[in-house]
Amino acid sequence: MPTWVQLVYLACAVCFILALKGLSGPRTARTGNLLGAAAAVVAVVVPFLYLDLHHVPLILLAIAVGTVGGVVGARRVQMTQMPQMVALFNGVGGGAAALVALLELKELVPDSGSVGWFTLAATAFTIAVGAISFAGSVVTFAKLQELMTSRPVVFVGLPIVFGAGLVAALVLGVLTVTSPAVWIGVVLGLLGLLLGLLLVLPVGGADVPIVISLLNAFTGLTVAAGGYILQNTLLLVAGTLVGASGTFLTLLMAKAMGRSVANILFGALKGGSTLGAGVASDRPVRSAGPEDVAILLGYADRVIIVPGYGLAVAQAQHTLRELVDVLSGRGTRVDYAIHPVAGRMPGHMNVLLAEAQVPYEQLVEMDEINGEFKHTDVVLVVGANDVVNPAAKTTPGAPIYGMPILNADEAKQVVFMKRSMRPGFAGIENELLFDPKTTLLFGDAKESLGKLLNAVKAL
């Protein structure tokens, strides 16, 4: 590899690190994303400039298909479907790494005597874990897209089958090192696909986005291993960054759910999945119209907004921002309380509200704002449910018990905007809905917020 190529790859690696740093904050996220994308484009172009590549037309065709698919998909995807897109992109990365490792294994077999054991072990790892990531990501996509049930799918003997599959994969991995053969790699890849399915099928409810993050870490590790196999330092660095960040994100999300990663993956096998019965309640609640809620908001000194997935579904973020602007103009202090797992992935609400030009200063994380609820006149919950459900603190048998929540129940008044009495993503009732200080405003969030905005202006 020429020196200039190594320098370019080093610069791209630095850009990847800076991009990851930029993505850690809303103000710098766009710049970080563009920087990482630009570095990736340069990294793809460089091999055409110094290598004697074969099948160039096929390579260019594949790049063109991927580019068109990525651009069209990214532009058409709705905010509510962003986790599904992330799952698909992640799965494609894992699958690609597994296929590259299989092709490399074919090249290594004739000279296996002179190939180091670690290279063959990395090849086996990439094939197995890449296939697991691909199959698991497809299942998470299907669950979130409602192409299949989002409830845990279990069957008698699943732990035994899964355990036997892991042992078989380990045996095949050892054989890849001691007696490398292409057919062993193919079987290992197929077994990886099966393990990916068995890993994700038992996961249900609010756990699915966390599994997406875990599979993203898997893909990063396979890309890093692939970089070692190909002796490409840039792939090694990029994969390590993705693997490390995905692992940390998984642990942070699990902490936000108040559960361990093992419980998230295998909790359904002993009834521990975060998904309840999902039956709408017929218990009486106090409801009101937009005019009544407008009076509560219009004469409040302190208001906290709790956004959730329902806000994204209704695409009501712009109307909500207008309402907050009107309240702020009347002298009301208004902030948005952001739960780490509100929506369907970390940062979902931040991105949604940033799209509506909401000032970053008004987006307050859970740990910072939880102490403010007891001094708040009105909490307006828009499309959220589980992240304010007191059952997480008071009901040991609840699926979400132990999950840190926003302390909306400590406010003087709570207004819930809901389409119906259907439970949240965890599928359990929220006792806060039946609290005497809680008022429900039923209807589509965008339509209800529009009426509420007009009513507040009319005060």
Rounded alpha-carbon distances, angstroms, from residue 238 to 22, 221, 234, 324: 15, 9, 6, 41
Token readout for 222 is: 């396979």
302-307 and 378-382 strand pairing = parallel
* Measured distance CA(241)–CA(249) in Å, rounded: 12
Token readout for 386 is: 């589980």
Considering only CA atoms, which of 90, 126, 35 is closest in space to residue 250? 90
* Measured distance CA(239)–CA(219) in Å, rounded: 8
Helix, strand, or coil (residue 282)? coil
Are 129 and 221 in contact by the 8 Å Cβ rule? The answer is: yes
Token readout for 329 is: 């103009």
Token readout for 36 is: 């990482």
What sign results for the dihedral spanned by CA atoms 369, 370, 376, 378?
A: positive
Would you give the DSSP letter of residue 55?
S
Which residue(s) pair with 379 in the sheet?
Answer: 304, 414
Q: Which residue is catalytic, options 111, 292, 325, 386?
A: 386
* Measured distance CA(214)–CA(199) in Å, rounded: 11
Cα R_g (the chain), whole angstroms: 25
Rounded to an integer, what is the distance from CA 163 to the centroid of its chain? 27
* Measured distance CA(147)–CA(133) in Å, rounded: 19
* Measured distance CA(264)–CA(203) in Å, rounded: 7
Q: What are phi and psi of 397, to 5 degrees?
A: -85, -5
Query: Annotated catalytic, 282?
Result: no
DSSP string, 298-349: HT-SEEEEEE-HHHHHHT-HHHHHHHHHHHHHTT-EEEEEE-TTSTTSTTHH
Terminal alpha carbon distance of the chain: 72
Are 138 and 199 in contact by the 8 Å Cβ rule? The answer is: no
Token readout for 453 is: 């905005």
DSSP string, 118-165: HHHHHHHHHHHHHHHHHHHHHHHHHHHTTSS-SS----TTHHHHHHHH
Q: Please identify every residue annotated as catalytic.
A: 386
